[in-house]
């Protein structure tokens, strides 16, 4: 393959992918605005492959697209550019909608305008599209509980009574987002799939769980709960546990995610499909906090009963279908991944 274009490619996931694919493509082109919420310095990230042609620009700018596409005709596009803060999306809805939705339509329009239709588009989506997902009641009947109301959360009714959460699976769980962010990501999925079908372009959509690991932003307060926990523990502070601390999350290591992206780039069996990418293991937030507190000999994490509207009670992937189709499986265990991340954060904070 010749040219790979990555939107938002100077971020956490993009940098890892760029190193993995640098020998697969003749040219790698990245468009990224180096937003200060993610990038402390407005300069090329050290982790970005030196083979990358970086355009510091906004995906919402049609002039940028025309400039890039007049020079580079992408064979494959990896669409990573997105605003990702679940809580922030409630107070900055227009920003999330503009970047995630309008940024995507600007890209699609520019591809037509510049006669630059690619062979394939890979979209990085999110488990947020599922919302609370599917649950099983006491009679063994599945149902969709929908979004937890502010009144319910204020009354500390964290769970759906006498019900059990079912891991998220693209073939069995209907998307019902409970956040502005999740809604915009589902819109991205629909935009990419219908556009690609109309123009005969292959596409693959990856619904990522909680991605973590060395290289993630340490200054973005809206993502990276693990890095926040590490900083508190290193300051010998007790980590606050929202709700009752028993929310499930599926933490998947950055190298496993990058390998999944590379796999769907080259695997024709992935065309036209949506995959769940996670570890397949649901750990409680309390479990993560205790693991980190123990490493740094910090005080025991404490339940604070705070909550965030739009947050889901549980999130965990059922990756069984993904494993059947892709030549991929997660390799980094939670304990190994957390230690690698903590080692990296220690090094960063000592510099």
**CB 241, CB 106: distance < 8 Å:** no
Distances in Å between the alpha carbon of 182 and those of 64, 129, 166, 249, 263? 27, 5, 19, 16, 25
Q: For residue 83, what pLDDT is reported?
A: 84
Number of structural domains found in the chain: 1
Report the 3 state secondary structure along the chain.
Answer: CCEEEEECCCCHHHHHHHHHHCCCCCEEEEEECCCCCCCCCCCCCCCCCCCEEEEECCCCCHHHHHHHHHHCCCCEEEECCCCCCCCHHHHCHHHHHHHHHHHHHHHHHHHHHCCCCCCEEEEEEEHHHHCCCCEEECCCCEECCCCCCHHHHHCCCCCCCCEEECCECCCCCCCCCCCHHHHHHHHHHHHHHHHHHHHCCEEEEEEECEEECCCCCCCCCCCCHHHHHHHHHHCCCCCEECCCCCCEECEEEHHHHHHHHHHHHHCHHHCCEEEEECCCCCEEHHHHHHHHHHHHCCCCCEECCCCCCCCCCECCECCHHHHHHCCCCCCCCHHHHHHHHHHHHHHHHHC
Distance CA 288, CA 69 (A): 44
Q: For residue 38, what pLDDT is reported?
A: 67
Q: For residue 42, what pLDDT is reported?
A: 75
Task: Give me the domain span that covers residue 115.
Answer: 3-350
Q: What is the pLDDT along the chain (351 residues), one digit of tens a residue?
A: 699 999 999 999 999 999 999 999 999 999 998 876 666 677 898 899 999 999 999 999 999 999 999 999 999 999 999 987 766 677 779 988 999 999 999 999 999 999 999 999 999 999 999 999 999 999 999 999 999 999 999 999 999 989 999 999 999 999 999 999 999 999 999 999 999 999 999 999 999 999 999 988 776 655 678 888 998 999 999 999 999 999 999 999 999 999 999 999 999 999 999 999 999 999 999 999 999 999 999 999 999 989 988 899 999 999 999 999 999 999 999 999 999 999 999 988 765
Q: For residue 49, what pLDDT is reported?
A: 94
Q: For residue 84, what pLDDT is reported?
A: 76
Q: For residue 152, what pLDDT is reported?
A: 93
* Tokens, residue 166: 């079912």
> Domain holding 328: CATH number?
3.40.50.720
Q: For residue 222, what pLDDT is reported?
A: 55
Q: For residue 87, what pLDDT is reported?
A: 66
Q: Comparing C-alpha atoms, which of 9, 20, 16, 77 is closest to residue 254?
A: 16
State the pairing for strand pair 135-137/142-143: antiparallel
**CB 282, CB 250: distance < 8 Å:** yes
Question: Is residue 181 annotated as part of the catalytic site, yes or no?
Answer: yes
Distance CA 27, CA 271 (A): 22
**CB 197, CB 116: distance < 8 Å:** no
Q: Which of 55, 181, 212, 281 is catalytic?
A: 181
Q: What is the pTM of this model?
A: 0.95
Q: Comparing C-alpha atoms, which of 196, 264, 193 is closest to residue 17?
A: 264
- Give the Cβ contact number of residue 152 at 10 Å: 13
Distance CA 216, CA 224 (A): 7
Distances in Å between the alpha carbon of 257 and those of 31, 169, 228, 251, 317? 20, 17, 21, 11, 13
């Amino acid at each position: 393959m010749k040219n790979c274009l990555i939107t938002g490619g100077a971020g956490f996931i993009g940098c890892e992918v760029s190193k993995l694919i640098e020998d697969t493509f003749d040219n790698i082109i990245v468009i990224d605005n180096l937003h200060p919420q993610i990038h402390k310095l407005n300069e090329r990230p050290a982790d970005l492959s030196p083979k990358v042609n970086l355009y510091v620009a906004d995906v919402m700018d049609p002039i940028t697209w025309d400039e890039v596409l007049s020079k580079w005709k992408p064979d494959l596009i990896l669409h990573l550019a997105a605003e990702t803060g679940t809580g922030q999306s409630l107070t900055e809805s227009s920003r999330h909608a503009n970047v995630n939705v309008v940024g995507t339509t600007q890209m699609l329009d520019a591809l037509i305008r510049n006669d630059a239709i690619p062979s394939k588009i890979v979209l990085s989506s999110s488990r947020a599209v599922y919302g609370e997902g599917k649950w099983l009641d006491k009679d063994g009947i599945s149902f969709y509980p929908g979004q937890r109301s502010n009144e319910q959360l204020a009354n500390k009714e964290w769970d759906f009574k006498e019900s059990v959460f079912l891991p998220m699976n693209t073939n069995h769980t209907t998307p019902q987002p409970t956040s502005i962010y999740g809604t915009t990501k589902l819109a991205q999925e629909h935009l990419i799939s219908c556009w690609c079908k109309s123009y005969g372009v292959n596409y693959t959509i990856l619904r990522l769980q909680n991605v973590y690991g060395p290289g993630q932003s340490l200054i973005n307060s809206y993502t990276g709960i693990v890095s926040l926990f590490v900083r508190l523990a290193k300051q010998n502070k007790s980590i606050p546990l929202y709700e009752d601390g028993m929310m499930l999350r599926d933490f998947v290591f950055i190298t496993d995610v990058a390998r999944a992206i590379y796999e769907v780039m080259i695997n024709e069996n992935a065309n036209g499909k949506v995959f769940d990418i996670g570890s397949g293991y649901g750990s409680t937030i309390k479990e993560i906090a205790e693991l980190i507190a123990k490493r740094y000999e910090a005080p025991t994490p404490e339940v604070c009963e705070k909550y965030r509207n739009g947050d889901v009670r549980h999130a965990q992937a059922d990756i069984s279908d993904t494993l059947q189709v892709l030549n991929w499986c997660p390799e980094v265990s939670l304990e190994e991944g957390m230690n690698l991340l903590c080692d990296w954060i220690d090094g960063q904070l000592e510099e």
